[in-house]
């Protein structure tokens, strides 16, 4: 999944493999360069309880499976009740990039994501900006 030619702000996952795909990237370098597993781990552990509870109730997530992990990339896949979620976190030139893709399962997945998606999008922007979600209040 490594892509040395990655372009700023462009998803690195194939668009035709997902029903939902977005990419958020920090506008400028974020202080000390940390591996994606570190900054993404801090973000996951710092989620407000209400976001974690909503995610568990609405998505009923399974375990994350790591597809690729290095100092520059963390690519994970997770089954959920609404479909399969894929996250590709990357550190490029001191900037953070988070690409999220979802392949919806048949059923209500799109409707559930219509509620959860805006929370995810706002949280993703805070994560790549290096802002602690818990300290900022609601995701």
Share of the chain above pLDDT 70, in %: 83
Q: Which CATH architecture has domain 20-129?
A: 2-Layer Sandwich (3.30)
Domain extents in the chain: 20-129
Handedness of CA 29, 32, 38, 44 (dihedral sign): negative
Q: Report pLDDT digits (tens) over 117-127.
A: 898 888 888 88
Tokens, residue 13 = 């996952």
Predicted structure pTM score: 0.80
Q: Report pLDDT digits (tens) over 26-57.
A: 877 676 667 898 888 888 887 788 888 888 88
Return the residue matching tokens 């979620």: 85
Tokens, residue 10 = 């462009």
């Amino acid at each position: 999944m490594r892509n040395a030619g990655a372009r700023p702000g462009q998803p690195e996952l194939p668009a035709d493999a997902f029903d939902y795909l977005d990419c958020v990237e920090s506008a400028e370098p974020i202080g000390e360069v940390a591996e994606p597993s570190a900054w993404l781990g801090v973000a996951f552990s710092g989620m407000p309880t209400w976001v974690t509870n909503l995610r568990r109730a609405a998505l009923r997530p399974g375990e994350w499976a790591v597809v690729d992990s290095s100092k520059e990339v963390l690519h994970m896949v997770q089954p959920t009740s609404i479909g399969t979620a894929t996250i590709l976190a990357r550190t490029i030139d001191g900037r953070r990039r988070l690409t999220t893709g979802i392949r919806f399962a048949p059923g209500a997945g799109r409707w559930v994501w219509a509620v959860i998606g805006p929370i995810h999008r706002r949280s993703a922007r805070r994560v790549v900006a290096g802002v602690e979600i818990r300290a900022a209040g609601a995701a």
